[in-house]
Amino acid sequence: MSAFSDHLIQLREQRSLSQKEAADACGVVVRAYQRYEYGEREPQLSTLIRLADFYQVSLDDLVGRSFPVLKPSAD
């Protein structure tokens, strides 16, 4: 599974929601939501935004993206 699907499952379970409840709240059909959690599909940007808004997280957090700490260049 991807970091996105793992995080999506974690967010839903933290809120004690079923896949149907989460899908309904985000405006997607249950089968599509399941495919996101199973890592079978990736949502479109508009759906990612709705998911992030629903779970009250940033898009970066939702997809499991973190930025490396950059060291200042020696220019």
CATH (domain of 7): 1.10.260.40
The confidence score (pLDDT) of residue 46 equals 95
User: pLDDT value at position 74?
Assistant: 66
| Residue 39 one-letter amino acid | G
The answer as to whether 63 is a domain residue is: no
Residue 52 is assigned to a structural domain of this protein: yes
pLDDT score at 75: 59
Residue 67: the pLDDT is: 73
In a domain, 10, yes or no: yes
Q: How far apart are CA 61 and CA 4, in angstroms?
A: 9
pLDDT by position in tens, the chain (length 75):
688 999 999 999 999 999 999 999 999 999 999 999 999 999 999 999 999 999 999 999 998 887 776 677 665
pTM attached to this predicted model: 0.82
Is the residue at 61 inside a domain? no
Cβ-based neighbours of 41, under 8 Å, separated by 6 or more: 32, 35
Angle at 53 between CA 34 and CA 49, to 5 degrees: 70
